[in-house]
């Protein structure tokens, strides 16, 4: 198996079908990838709804896994444990990908190289795809560049393929409710040497929903406390193997957590 796609889902709605449809239309050979839907939270009626959908779309190489532990990090960890692919691909259940997404990423992937796709966003209920803050980091060439030059892309495990040797036994921090994605990518960065960029046609499309967890209103204390937790955990990662990680990459991670906290407080 070449690629395992991990999709965590909680109380899924119709956007999950959009996500799966975009995966089913991939130009990449269906025999060479698997889709792991990891359902957490309430089991029914969601499990039966997903199974019913899959029974009507048998071309999609998909497995449904129920995980009784709450949190997207726990769901992704379960997906990694169950995956058979050489490369891991994370996709959120409300996002979609263009038809040559997997093929282009796979063509550029290597054990020490993480391929990165173009990213756009769209408001829920529309098809108006527009750039987001990360888009300006996209490089219009295929030459590999050091991963430290694409730090913004490391805010999320999505929009990339990650070799199993990079992941190893390391998993998402389940104690965090926000910021676990960027922390996980920092954790993996010691085994990444290069990044490469696909063409713009290979696109990860991020759905912006006003009711998503990232849009939930939280107190200033929560955001400041969460930021400090992320920074403490990141510092522990770096100190555990100080000569393996990039210090400049770590400093920019710390600055990014501060800026993210400020944005939340202003909003």
Spans of all domains in the chain: 3-212, 217-267
Beta-carbon contacts of 232 under 8 Å, excluding residues fewer than 6 positions away, are none
In this structure, what token pair is assigned to residue 35? 């889709």
Is residue 208 within 8 Å of 152, Cβ to Cβ? no
SS3 125: coil
SS3 66: strand
Q: How confident is the model at residue 124, as a pLDDT?
A: 87
The fold adopted by the segment(s) 3-212 is Spore Coat Polysaccharide Biosynthesis Protein SpsA; Chain A (3.90.550)
Q: How confident is the model at residue 142, as a pLDDT?
A: 72
Tell me the C-alpha distance between 220 and 132, whole Å: 25
pLDDT along the chain (267 residues), means of 10: 97 95 97 98 95 95 95 97 98 97 97 96 89 83 89 95 98 94 98 96 91 66 94 98 97 96 86
Cα angle 7, 13, 15; round to 5: 65
Is residue 34 within 8 Å of 3, Cβ to Cβ? yes
Exposure letters 4-28 (e unless 16+ CB within 10 A, then b): bbbbbbbebeebbeebbebbeebeb
Q: How confident is the model at residue 218, as a pLDDT?
A: 78
Neighbours of 152 (CB within 10 A): 16
């Amino acid at each position: 198996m070449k690629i395992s796609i991990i999709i965590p889902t909680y109380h899924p709605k119709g956007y999950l079908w959009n996500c799966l449809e975009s995966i089913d239309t991939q130009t990449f050979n269906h025999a060479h990838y698997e889709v792991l839907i990891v359902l957490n939270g309430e089991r029914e009626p969601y499990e039966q709804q997903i199974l019913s959908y899959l029974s009507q779309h048998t071309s999609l190489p998909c497995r449904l896994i129920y995980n009784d532990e709450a949190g997207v990090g726990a769901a992704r960890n379960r997906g990694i444990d169950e995956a058979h692919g050489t490369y891991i691909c994370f996709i959120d259940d409300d996002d979609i990908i263009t038809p040559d997404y997997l093929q282009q990423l796979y063509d550029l992937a290597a054990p020490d190289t993480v391929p990165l796709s173009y990213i756009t966003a769209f408001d829920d209920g529309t098809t108006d795809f527009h750039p987001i803050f990360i888009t300006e980091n996209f490089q219009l060439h295929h030459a590999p560049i050091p991963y430290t030059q694409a730090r913004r892309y490391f805010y999320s495990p999505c929009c990339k393929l990650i070799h199993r040797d990079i992941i190893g036994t390391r998993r998402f921090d389940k104690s965090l409710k926000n910021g676990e994605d960027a922390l996980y990518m920092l954790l993996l960065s010691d085994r990444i040497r290069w990044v490469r960029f696909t063409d713009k046609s290979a696109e990860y499309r991020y759905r912006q929903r006003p009711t998503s967890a990232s849009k939930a209103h939280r107190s200033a204390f929560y955001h400041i406390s969460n930021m400090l937790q992320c920074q403490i955990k990141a510092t522990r990662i770096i100190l555990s193997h100080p000569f393996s990680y990039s210090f400049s990459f770590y400093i920019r991670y710390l600055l990014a957590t501060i800026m993210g906290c400020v944005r939340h407080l202003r909003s």
